[in-house]
């Protein structure tokens, strides 16, 4: 029982971070029908940026987030303008897989050259601090990471639901032609949306760098997890991505703490397959269109 | 009367082939013009070239003296052209009210926006009654009313309506046509595509018949209603034909010759 509860605690806390990464990815899919295979690489790049700001200037990774998100927002916009916009609307969905994979490799190459391939971790000095509550261990860093992710998701939610830009984004996701007919410039929404997706990757990246050691190749692991989460939640559904992230990481953590860590990686693929058998569109997906 | 919209030799298409093969059409300011024709004739495509969803490959589209063929949908919207497409065009997972607000996406002045919203709600009370509900949860007829209300928010000069009565029961259909006439009586110009040719023509001042990517015949709505060939083909009198091409209006005042072999899809 103790192991189970400990697993739930760990899983929920970690799930928040994955939720943040996945929300950006599902947003990009919703707006452009682009599966962004570079989302993992953007998270890792965000982690490196946080690492560098910490090593060079002593900026705490949490405090670095406004800086890294701004930089990654610009990177995201640039990627969209340079690599995705030139694709023709009709075959954008298929070609974007190749293009974003190429972008992932490009970013990986850039990171290997800049920081070489040895594993880095951000050693703030508080990374091992933890509290014990009723006999359960709560790592402080994970708690902060979780709270930060919640705050970032909250901001994203407000942006999407309470602003004019957010309404335009949701409109584009739900009915792109109609949105254009009401004066929404789809190219602009796509560029800003891609930037937003990259910004969430950066915020999540800072935290990721605090929680795990990483190198330029870490994005492969990450993207396979993110894809599973996004598909499980329903492509294009931000709420779905959040729920799926928590389900996936909680169940992996429970299996790791009660059965064996070696089975935990398998867990979420099993869940994914079971869910897709029953609901091919994912938990919260609508067929064909995002439900943002 | 003056011409507000003019298409001249418009050629347009989606992929390899041309769907519109030289469309000529003029619409008089303040009137209702009805475009009829078989499925696949290119009626919706004509509306898309006017609203900017599709750019013509050749030919010109002129609105109120501006050549608009290469403008973005946004620029055309700012000139006063609004397109209500054939398929459901509301944002299903947004509230009815947010859908209306999207109608005012380009309106910067919040007072103007409020006035327009009030006007739209006054004409279509359903927008207030069901304001908080997801648009996707409304029935087809109710959604159509919200679409028309959203159109009003833009205070358009030219409204392109693609089959507004599709899938509606007779009462809702009547309601839609009443709304269309109301829109028109406030001085707006309406270009209407209608599969219910009888109701469409009866409501219209002018009419044009399209087949296989061309406008084959233009006339007043009333005279097309009385035209026996049109009646046979589109008004369900006798066996409904589908493979007949009417003679171009330039050659003869009425439809006469048929060209066999050209099967519209
Ligand atoms: N988005 C698209 N991509 C490719 N081809 C299209 C597209 N939209 C329409 N077409 C093709 O263009 C032709 C004309 O279509 P259009 O929608 O203009 O016809 P329509 O006259 O409005 O027919 P209906 O009465 O069925 O609405 C059809 O053959 C159709 O297959
Ligand atoms: Mg049509």
> Each residue of B83-92: pLDDT tens digit?
999 888 999 9
Cβ within 8 Å of residue A110, ≥6 positions away: A45
The residue of chain B with its CA nearest to that of A290 is B93
Q: Cα dihedral sign for A223, A228, A231, A234?
A: negative
CA B260/CA A270 separation, integer angstroms: 60
CA A236/CA A240 separation, integer angstroms: 8
Q: Which domains, and CATH codes, for chain B? A: 1-80+156-265 (3.40.50.300), 91-155 (no CATH)
Q: Helical H runs in chain A?
A: 2-32, 39-57, 61-79, 92-115, 140-162, 164-174, 176-181, 186-211, 219-233, 238-258, 261-278
Which residues in chain B belong to E strands, given as ranges? 3-12, 20-28, 32-36, 58-63, 66-67, 81-84, 158-162, 189-193, 206-211, 214-220
pLDDT for res B179: 87
Cα-only R_g, chain A = 19
pLDDT-derived band at B67 (thresholds 50, 70, 90) equals: very high
pLDDT for res A57: 94
C-alpha closest to that of A140 among A152, A151, A128, A149: A128
- The answer to whether the CB of B189 is under 6 A from ligand 1 is no
The arithmetic mean of pLDDT across residues A235-261, rounded, is: 86
Phi (first) and psi of residue A214, to 5 degrees: -145, 155
Q: Which residues of A touch B83 (CB under 8 A)?
A: 181
Atom of ligand 1 nearest to the CA of B195: 25
**Strands B32-36 and B81-84: what pairing?**
unpaired
Residue with tokens 């940026």: A49
The arithmetic mean of pLDDT across residues A115-132, rounded, is: 85
Q: CA-CA distances (angstroms) from residue B238 to A210, B35, B235, B241? A: 77, 21, 9, 9
Q: Which residues of A touch B154 (CB under 8 A)?
A: 182
Question: Which mutation among B37, B43, B55 tests ligand 1's pocket best, with the greatest number of atoms within 8 A of CB?
Answer: B43
How does pLDDT run across A202-221, given as a tens digit for each residue?
Answer: 999 999 999 899 999 999 88
How does pLDDT run across B146-156, given as a tens digit for each residue?
Answer: 999 999 898 89
Ligand 2 ion: nearby residues, β-carbon < 5 Å: B 44, 86
pLDDT for res B101: 92
Whether residue B105 contacts residue A184, with contact meaning beta carbons closer than 8 Å, is answered with: yes
Q: CA-CA distances (angstroms) from residue B94 to A43, A107, A169, A176, B98? A: 31, 37, 12, 14, 6
Mutate to test the interface with A, among B14, B74, B160 (most CBs of A within 10 A): B74
pLDDT for res A142: 85
pLDDT of B44 over the 60 cut: yes
Q: What's the DSSP call for residue B13?
A: -
Whether residue B71 contacts residue B52, with contact meaning beta carbons closer than 8 Å, is answered with: yes
CA B54/CA B71 separation, integer angstroms: 10
Q: Which residues of B touch A178 (CB under 8 A)?
A: 85, 89-91
pLDDT of B4 over the 70 cut: yes
pLDDT for res B250: 41
pLDDT-derived band at B235 (thresholds 50, 70, 90) equals: low
Q: Do B72 and A179 touch (CB under 8 A)?
A: no
Which residue minimizes the CA distance to atom 26 of ligand 1? B39
pLDDT of B259 over the 70 cut: no
pLDDT of B14 over the 80 cut: yes
How does pLDDT run across A166-196, given as a tens digit for each residue?
Answer: 899 889 888 888 999 999 998 898 899 999 9
Q: Which of A174, A180, A183 comes nearest B91 by C-beta?
A: A174
Q: Which of A44-58, A128-142, B53-67 has the lowest mean pLDDT?
A: A128-142
- The answer to whether the CB of B17 is under 6 A from ligand 1 is no
C-alpha closest to that of B182 among B163, B159, B209, B198: B159
The arithmetic mean of pLDDT across residues B180-199, rounded, is: 88
C-alpha closest to that of A195 among A36, A17, A19: A36
Atom of ligand 1 nearest to the CA of B37: 21
Residues pairing with B62 in the sheet: B6, B67
pLDDT for res A123: 86
Longest Cα pair distance anywhere in chain A, in angstroms?
59
Q: Which two tokens stand for residue A18?
A: 């994955």
CA B182/CA A271 separation, integer angstroms: 56
Residue A64 sits in a domain whose CATH number is 1.10.3470
The arithmetic mean of pLDDT across residues A123-141, rounded, is: 82
Instruction: List the B3-12 sheet strands across, edge first.
Output: B20-28, B3-12, B58-63, B66-67
CA distance A185 to chain B (A): 7
Residue with tokens 């066999």: B260
pLDDT for res A286: 60
pLDDT of A43 over the 60 cut: yes
Q: Which of A90, A164, A181 comes nearest B83 by C-beta?
A: A181
pLDDT of B230 over the 90 cut: no
Give me chain A's average pLDDT, please: 87
How does pLDDT run across A15-34, given as a tens digit for each residue?
Answer: 889 999 998 888 888 887 88
Whether residue A127 contacts residue A50, with contact meaning beta carbons closer than 8 Å, is answered with: no
**Strands B214-220 and B206-211: what pairing?**
antiparallel
Q: Is this structure's pTM higher than 0.90?
A: no
CA distance B210 to chain A (A): 24
Q: Which residues of B touch A174 (CB under 8 A)?
A: 91-94
Give me chain B's average pLDDT, please: 84
Q: How far is CA B255 from the centre of its chain?
A: 24
pLDDT for res A264: 79
CA distance B78 to chain A (A): 8
Question: Which mutation among B12, B14, B165 tests ligand 1's pocket best, with the greatest number of atoms within 8 A of CB?
Answer: B14
pLDDT-derived band at B236 (thresholds 50, 70, 90) equals: low
CA B158/CA B191 separation, integer angstroms: 7
pLDDT for res A2: 80
Stretch 145-174 of chain A: residues touching chain B, C-beta under 8 Å: 164, 167-168, 170-171, 174
Q: Which of A33-47, A248-262, B55-69 has the lowest mean pLDDT?
A: A248-262
CA A163/CA A169 separation, integer angstroms: 10
Atom of ligand 1 nearest to the CA of B42: 18
The arithmetic mean of pLDDT across residues A39-54, rounded, is: 95
- For residue A238, give its domain range: 2-288
pLDDT for res B199: 82
pLDDT-derived band at A152 (thresholds 50, 70, 90) equals: confident
Phi (first) and psi of residue B182, to 5 degrees: -65, -40
Domains: count for chain A: 1
pLDDT for res B130: 92
pLDDT of B137 over the 80 cut: yes
pLDDT for res B248: 43
Q: Do A167 and B94 touch (CB under 8 A)?
A: yes
Share of chain B above pLDDT 90, in %: 51
pLDDT of B256 over the 50 cut: no
pLDDT for res B265: 41
- The answer to whether the CB of B39 is under 6 A from ligand 1 is yes
Q: Do B94 and A178 touch (CB under 8 A)?
A: no
DSSP string of B207-240, one letter each residue = EEEEETTEEEEEEEHHHHHH-HHHHHHHS-SSSP
The arithmetic mean of pLDDT across residues A233-262, rounded, is: 86
pLDDT for res A192: 92
pLDDT-derived band at A292 (thresholds 50, 70, 90) equals: low
Helix (H) or strand (E) holding B153: helix B140-153
C-alpha closest to that of A92 among A100, A197, A26: A100
- The answer to whether the CB of B149 is under 6 A from ligand 1 is no
pLDDT-derived band at A135 (thresholds 50, 70, 90) equals: confident
Q: Do A175 and B90 touch (CB under 8 A)?
A: yes
């Amino acid at each position: 029982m103790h192991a189970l509860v400990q697993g739930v605690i760990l899983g929920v806390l970690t799930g928040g971070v994955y939720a943040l990464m996945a929300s950006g990815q599902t947003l990009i899919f919703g707006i452009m029908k682009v599966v962004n295979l570079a989302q993992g690489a953007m998270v890792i790049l965000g982690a490196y940026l946080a690492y560098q700001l910490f090593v060079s200037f002593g900026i705490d990774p949490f405090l670095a987030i406004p800086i890294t998100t701004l930089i990654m927002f610009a990177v995201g916009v640039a990627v969209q303008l340079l690599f995705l916009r030139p694709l023709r609307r009709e075959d954008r969905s298929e070609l974007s897989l190749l293009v974003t994979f190429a972008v992932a490799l490009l970013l990986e190459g850039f990171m290997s050259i800049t920081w070489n391939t040895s594993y880095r971790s951000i050693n703030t000095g508080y990374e091992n601090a933890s509290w014990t509550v009723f006999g359960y261990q709560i790592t402080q860093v994970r708690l902060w990471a979780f709270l930060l992710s919640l705050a970032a998701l909250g901001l994203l939610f407000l942006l999407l639901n309470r602003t004019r830009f957010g309404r335009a984004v949701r409109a584009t996701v739900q009915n792109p032609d109609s949105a254009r007919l009401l004066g929404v410039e789809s190219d602009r929404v796509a560029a800003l949306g891609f930037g937003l997706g990259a910004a969430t990757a950066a915020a999540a990246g800072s935290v990721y760098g605090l929680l795990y050691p990483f190198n330029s190749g870490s994005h492969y692991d990450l993207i396979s997890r993110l894809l599973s989460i996004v598909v499980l939640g329903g492509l294009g559904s931000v709420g779905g991505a959040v729920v799926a992230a928590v389900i996936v990481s909680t169940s992996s953590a429970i299996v790791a703490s009660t059965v064996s860590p070696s089975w935990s990686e398998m867990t979420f693929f099993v869940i994914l397959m079971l869910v897709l058998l029953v609901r091919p569109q994912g938990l919260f997906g609508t067929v064909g269109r995002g439900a943002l | 009367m003056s011409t507000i919209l003019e298409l001249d030799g418009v050629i347009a298409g989606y992929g390899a082939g041309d769907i519109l093969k030289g469309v000529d059409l003029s619409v008089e300011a303040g009137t209702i013009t009805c475009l009829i024709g078989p499925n696949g004739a290119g009626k919706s495509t004509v509306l898309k070239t006017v609203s900017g969803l599709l750019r013509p490959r050749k030919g010109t589209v002129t609105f109120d003296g501006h050549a608009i063929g290469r403008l973005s949908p946004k620029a055309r919207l700012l000139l006063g052209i609004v397109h209500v497409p054939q398929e459901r065009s509301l944002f299903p997972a947004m509230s009815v009210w947010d859908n209306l607000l999207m109608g005012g996406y380009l309106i910067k002045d919040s007072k103007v926006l409020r006035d327009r919203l009030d006007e739209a709600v006054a004409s279509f009370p359903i927008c207030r009654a069901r304001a908080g509900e997801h648009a996707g949860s409304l029935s087809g007829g109710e959604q159509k009313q919200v679409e028309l209300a959203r159109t009003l928010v833009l205070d358009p000069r030219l409204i392109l309506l693609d089959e507004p009565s599709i899938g509606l029961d007779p009462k809702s259909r009547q309601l839609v046509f009443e709304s269309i006439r109301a829109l028109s009586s406030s001085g707006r110009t309406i270009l209407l595509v209608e599969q219910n040719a009888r109701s469409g023509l009866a409501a219209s001042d002018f009419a044009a018949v399209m087949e296989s990517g061309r406008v084959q015949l233009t006339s007043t709505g009333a005279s097309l209603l009385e035209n026996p060939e049109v009646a046979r083909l589109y008004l369900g009198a006798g066996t409904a034909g589908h493979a007949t091409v009417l003679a171009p209006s330039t050659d003869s005042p009425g439809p006469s010759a048929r060209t066999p072999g050209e099967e519209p899809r």
